[in-house]
Amino acid sequence: MPLIRTVLKACAGIALIAFGLALPAHAASKAEVEKMFRTWIDKDLWPSALKAGVSEKTFRAAMQGATLNWDLPDLVPPGSRPKKEQAQSQAEFSSPGAYFSEKRLQSLAGRGASLAKIHAATLRRIEKRFGVPGEIVVAIWGRESGFGSAKIPYSAVDVLATKAFMSTRKDMFRKELIAALHIVDGGDRTVAQLKGSWAGALGQPQFMPTSFLKYAVDFDGDGVRDIWGSVPDSLASIANYLAQKGWQAGRGWGYEVSIPDGVSCGQEGPDLAKPISAWAASGITRISGKAFSAGEAKASGMMLVPAGTHGPEFIVTPNFYVIKEYNNSDLYALFIGNLADRIAYGGGPFRGEWGDVGKMLRSDVLAMQKALVAKGYDVGKVDGLPGYKTRRSLGDWQAKSGLAPTCYPDASLKSRLH
């Protein structure tokens, strides 16, 4: 995944105070941790960076002034323990509809359509080279950084070094820190210019450093890959990422559809793809009333029902799952697809309404998942969240139990599924 979400879940100042209060009595003091950090840089990080090919000049320039950022979330300083996850019995998952703020989508679409016109020539060149439609690129640009307007104030080196030294995912952040040093070594950015989010994601596309090294593009021809200040570089880098992940040129992301009664919602998932013509033959139609094009009818598509029969229904293309490579979430990919349609065609909200779902406790959904597994179903990850394997397993069980398949957990099923 190229990025980690860039919105803090809690006030940094409060987090810092809470951190200080949460330290157990035997934990090292901040001064002691700072000293351990310097030792770690010299004795642990430097040998790893050297082995990875980072020059000593770059390493010293970057790490000499590196400081721990105590405001970051998910820190586990020496002598302390990771914060326990909230008990699942206390956590609800929200309705998918909450993700699609109409006010926000309208704002992003208006600005995105304007910027798509301003950068039309660049976007045409990008689509010709990478095969990715301009509206998809602009939608991701808007979602990730507000079209480059979001403030990205943190020293990426400080953030990544802090997390590599004392976070819940130290190995991952060590890899990203060394990648960031390679960016400096390559001349695309100085240490001072290497700014990122609180999670270390860089620039307007919000690439993690490893993704920058693989996918960033110099599209304006100035010799550096500048995803901070160059719109052409930022847009082309997003398109290159999607192209490298398998974007199929000439195809969109998917279609909102109507699934008729008698066609089971338990057929969703990327592993149950079939020609869109086959879906159409079963009675599935586009919500717009338009026919699927001849080219699309021959190509593969997948059913997607993120709220079962209680919300909008879709036939998506393999490109939908390419968008998920950017952020592994069905709702994120649907957000990008809807925003792109608004930018390109003046589209509006999904026509299907999100029903009254998402109010169950995760522990209840977890119990349903365990019950389905005991009956031989593959529900995917048993985590209290209803992913597509859980949804379709539930739909299949409902059908075999003489119930109308809804493919979504609700309270009425708790006592029946045991």
**pLDDT tens readout for residues 307-318:** 999 999 999 999
Judge contact between 247 and 238, C-beta under 8 A.
no
- The SS3 call for residue 167 is strand
Q: Which residues pair with 303 in a beta bridge?
A: 268, 315
Query: How does pLDDT run across 103-151, given as a tens digit for each residue?
Result: 999 999 999 999 999 999 999 999 999 999 999 999 999 999 999 999 9
pLDDT of residue 163: 98
Q: How far is CA 387 from the centre of its chain?
A: 15
Q: What is the mean pLDDT of residues 379-397?
A: 95
Judge contact between 159 and 65, C-beta under 8 A.
no
Burial 52-70 (b: 16+ CB within 10 A, else e): eebeeebbebbbeebebbb
Q: Which tokens sit at 293? A: 């094009």
Q: What is the mean pLDDT of residues 72-83?
A: 87
- The SS3 call for residue 322 is helix
Task: Of 79-88, 223-232, 258-267, 372-381, give the lowest mean pLDDT range.
Answer: 79-88
Smallest CA-to-CA distance from 230 within 205, 197, 211, 213 is with 205
pLDDT of residue 412: 86
Query: How does pLDDT run across 244-263, given as a tens digit for each residue?
Result: 999 999 999 999 999 999 99
Q: Does pLDDT of 12 surpass 60?
A: no
Q: Does pLDDT of 20 surpass 60?
A: no
Query: How does pLDDT run across 176-234, given as a tens digit for each residue?
Result: 999 999 999 999 999 999 999 999 999 999 999 999 999 999 999 999 999 999 999 99
**Per-residue confidence band for 11, with pLDDT thresholds at 50, 70 and 90:** very low
**Per-residue confidence band for 91, with pLDDT thresholds at 50, 70 and 90:** low
pLDDT of residue 15: 39
**Per-residue confidence band for 21, with pLDDT thresholds at 50, 70 and 90:** very low
Task: Of 17-26, 44-53, 89-98, give the lowest mean pLDDT range.
Answer: 17-26
Q: What is the mean pLDDT of residues 85-101?
A: 72
pLDDT of residue 6: 38
Judge contact between 116 and 138, C-beta under 8 A.
yes
Judge contact between 327 and 139, C-beta under 8 A.
no
Q: Which tokens sit at 176? A: 């990203």
Considering the chain, what is the average pLDDT of its residues? 91
Rounded to whole angstroms, how far apart are CA atoms 326 and 124?
22
Q: Does pLDDT of 88 surpass 60?
A: no
Smallest CA-to-CA distance from 20 within 96, 75, 62, 59 is with 75
Smallest CA-to-CA distance from 286 within 250, 259, 252, 318 is with 259
Smallest CA-to-CA distance from 80 within 26, 150, 131 is with 26
Q: How many CB atoms lie under 10 A from the CB of residue 144?
A: 26
pLDDT of residue 85: 57
Judge contact between 251 and 299, C-beta under 8 A.
yes
Q: Which tokens sit at 207? A: 């690439």
Q: Which tokens sit at 395? A: 């739909």
- Give residue for tokens 């009254």: 356
Q: Give the phi and the psi of residue 353 in degrees, each rounded to 5.
A: -95, 140
pLDDT of residue 23: 42
